[in-house]
Amino acid sequence: MLKELSDSHKYLICAGLSTFSLIFSAISLIYLSKSVDDLSTNLESISIWANTQNECITKTFRIDGKNTQGIPSKVWSCNGGGE
């Protein structure tokens, strides 16, 4: 009985399993895309800060295009250090 049922409906059973698999995959992709969107939004402020820091470090302590201080001093100065 069970063998006859499975033999006569095996394509329908496989189609149903494939449909469920596609639905669950789609739901997973939706949640993944939301997570990536949240992450990119959170990283945007860090990216802006990093660009500001890089620009400050590049422009700090240059006389005639030559570095007059090392990187640690530049970072310290750009983050509010100094007298």
Whole-number Å distance between alpha carbons of 25 and 22: 5
Give domain status of residue 83, yes or no.
no
Strands in the chain per DSSP E: 62-63, 66-67
Whole-number Å distance between alpha carbons of 3 and 42: 55
Give domain status of residue 49, yes or no.
yes
Share of the chain above pLDDT 90, in %: 30
83 has a pLDDT exceeding 60:
no
Report residue 65's pLDDT band, with 50, 70 and 90 as the boundaries.
low
Give domain status of residue 18, yes or no.
yes
DSSP class of 69: S
Give domain status of residue 39, yes or no.
yes
Cα-flanking dihedrals φ and ψ of residue 69, to 5°?
Answer: -140, 160
Q: Which domain holds residue 59?
A: 2-78
Give domain status of residue 57, yes or no.
yes
Our count of domains for the chain comes to 1
Does the model's pTM come out above 0.75?
Answer: no
Whole-number Å distance between alpha carbons of 45 and 49: 6
- 3-class secondary structure, 67: strand
